[in-house]
């Protein structure tokens, strides 16, 4: 899931790119990066549905975790949330 807010931000000096560090060696927004959920698809509802396996029928198998009861899932968020909550770009406040 990616909000598309950094690469497309008008303040980004290099539009359509996001680099891993100041030396700009790796464009983490490059053509070889596969993203299943972008922009308006990044919602609290879709996040919960993804984690619980209750996705809408129109979502392809590629947009599913394909996990089972023995799977471990790492959720990495940076700069969003705090103790006891996660912040999404969701329009609900």
Burial (CB < 10 A; 0-12, 13-18, 19+), residue 5, is: exposed
**Residue 4 near residue 37 (C-beta atoms within 8 A):** no
pLDDT of res. 90? 54
**What does the pLDDT look like over 72-93, one tens digit per residue?**
998 877 766 778 877 776 555 4
* Interval 3-43: pLDDT, tens: 777 777 888 888 888 887 888 888 888 777 778 888 888 88
Please tell me the distance from the alpha carbon of residue 76 to that of residue 55, in angstroms, as a whole number: 21
**Does the reported pTM lie above 0.85?**
no
Under a CB-based contact definition with an 8 Å cutoff, are residues 32 and 68 in contact?
no
Identify the band that residue 71 occupies on the pLDDT scale cut at 50, 70 and 90: very high
Q: Using CA atoms, how far apart are residues 17 and 53, in angstroms rounded to an integer?
A: 31
| Owning domain of residue 2 | 1-93
């Amino acid at each position: 899931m990616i909000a598309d807010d950094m690469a497309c931000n008008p303040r980004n000096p290099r539009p359509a790119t996001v680099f891993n560090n100041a030396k700009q060696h790796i464009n983490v927004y490059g053509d070889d990066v596969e993203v299943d959920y972008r922009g308006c698809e990044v919602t609290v509802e879709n996040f919960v549905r993804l984690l619980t396996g209750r996705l809408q029928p129109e979502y392809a198998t590629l947009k599913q975790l394909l996990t089972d009861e023995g799977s471990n899932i790492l959720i990495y968020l940076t700069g969003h949330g705090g103790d006891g909550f996660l912040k999404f770009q969701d329009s609900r406040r």
